[in-house]
Amino acid sequence: MIIANTIEEVRAQVREWRKEGLTIGLVPTMGYLHEGHASLVDKAVTECDRVVASDFVNPTQFGPGEDLEAYPRDFERDCALLEAHGCDMVFHPEVDEMYPQGGGTTDTFIEILSEMPKQLCGVTRPIHFRGVCTVVGKLFNIVTPDKAFFGQKDAQQLAIIKHMVRDLNFGIEIIGCPIVREEDGLAISSRNTYLNPEERKAALTLSQSVKLAKDMVAGGERDSKTVLEAMRAHIEAEPLARIDYVSAVDGITMLPVSELSDGVLVAMAVYIGKTRLIDNFTVGE
Ligand code: PAF
């Protein structure tokens, strides 16, 4: 597997692959890789001739007081996982390589102006999706992939990236991949490493409330207020949990809905101790 630290190295390799007529898949990550990321690489390997993963903790998507400095990093372990799953190149730039202006920021952002990034995670993380769109747009320009692969766990991010790609005519196919869960149901996340054993147990309240909601919907309940109230009651019964949001929104616009019809996203963010975790499901999937 090629390890590229500079944009120029990536571009040179991509040019070679293009000369050979090969297709390229991109798996953008912030590192500290787990089975969820591995599933994205596996999918990319089946769909593209060459797979590039990026491994970059993007400063512009962290707000003041968030976990940018504490965000877990282990590049060696990441490389081992990527290589084992058939990744061809990892792009691991320094902050100044991605943000040449310096200071891990830029004057030029990609920002969706509709309500979409202001809902759900956008309420407590107002600059988050602007940073995500900007770095993903940069990665698209650097790697110029045919397809890019994102996890459904970050459902709002996935919807926003699809919207950005359409609005800015990137011409890249965006593929959403299913949430990967631990055996007991917890959605796999790099942030799960922050949890102590007691919190790890408490964190199950998220996947349990997803299951509760799915069961209610399968039983014919379509009123979002009724389902969301049951989910909230379940989570509030866990003393270590504090709800950020539990919402039902249109799967494309991210605007709240009252009826749980197919395609509606039921999503939550919950603090377990100091760790903010997310989970979701889409009705009808
Ligand atoms: O989902 C993530 O890990 C990040 O938001 C992404 C897409 C790699 C952009 O930094």
- The CATH number for 209's domain is 3.30.1300.10
- How far does residue 154's CA lie from ligand 1's centre (Å)? 9
Contacts of 64 (CB under 8 A, 6+ apart): none
Q: Supply the CATH number for residue 77's domain.
A: 3.40.50.620
Residue in 40, 61, 78, 189 to alter for ligand 1 test, most ligand atoms within 8 A of Cβ:
61
One domain for residues 117 and 224: no
Are 164 and 241 contained in the same domain?
no
Which ligand 1 atom is at minimum distance from the Cα of 132? Answer: 9
Say whether both 163 and 56 belong to one domain: yes
Ligand 1 atom nearest residue 151's Cα: 1
Mutate to test the pocket of ligand 1, among 26, 57, 71, 136 (most ligand atoms within 8 A of CB): 136
As for how many domains the chain has, the answer is: 2
The answer to whether residues 128 and 165 belong to one domain is yes
61 Cβ closer than 6 Å to some ligand 1 atom: yes
**Where does a domain end: 177, 203, 228?**
177
Which residue out of 41, 132, 175 has the highest number of ligand 1 atoms within 8 Å of its CB and is therefore the one to mutate?
132
Judge if the beta carbon of residue 28 lies within 6 A of ligand 1: yes
Same domain, 31 and 141: yes
Q: Is the CB of 154 under 6 A from ligand 1?
A: yes
Ligand 1 neighbour 132 (Cβ under 6 A): yes
Q: Examine the domain organization and report whether 66 and 153 are in the same domain.
A: yes
Digit-coded pLDDT (tens) for 274-283 = 999 999 999 9
**pTM for this predicted structure:** 0.97
Shortest-distance Cα residue to atom 1 of ligand 1 = 29
> Cβ of 227: how many Cβ atoms within 10 Å?
23
Q: Tens of pLDDT along 215-272?
A: 999 999 999 999 999 999 999 999 999 999 999 999 999 999 999 999 999 999 999 9
- Which pLDDT score is estimated for 67? 94
In this structure, the strands spanning 264-272 and 275-282 are: antiparallel
Same domain, yes or no, for 194 and 172?
no
- 39 and 71 belong to one structural domain: yes
Q: What is the pLDDT of residues 85-135, one digit of tens each?
A: 999 999 999 999 999 999 999 999 999 999 999 999 999 999 999 999 999
Q: Are residues 218 and 249 in the same domain?
A: yes
Is the residue at 84 inside a domain? Answer: yes
Cβ(68)–Cβ(31) below 8 Å: no
DSSP letters, 205-259, are HHHHHHHHHHHHHHTT--BHHHHHHHHHHHHHTSTTEEEEEEEEEETTT--B-SB
Are 46 and 127 part of one and the same domain? yes
Domain span at residue 21 reads: 2-177
pLDDT in tens, 22-76: 999 999 999 999 999 999 999 999 999 999 999 999 999 999 999 999 999 999 9
If asked whether residues 61 and 135 sit together in one domain, one would say yes
List the residue whose alpha carbon is closest to atom 6 of ligand 1: 29
Residue 268 lies in a domain: yes
Residue 84 has a pLDDT of 98
Q: Confidence class of residue 203 from pLDDT cuts 50, 70 and 90?
A: very high
In ligand 1, the atom with minimum distance to the C-alpha of 136 is 9
Last residue of a domain, one of 128, 152, 177: 177
Per-residue confidence (pLDDT) for residue 114, from 0 to 100: 96
Nearest CA among 34, 27, 147, 39 for reference residue 80 = 34
33 plus 111 within the same structural domain: yes
Give the model's pLDDT for residue 186.
98
Q: Which residues are catalytic?
A: 37
| Per-residue pLDDT at 284 | 97
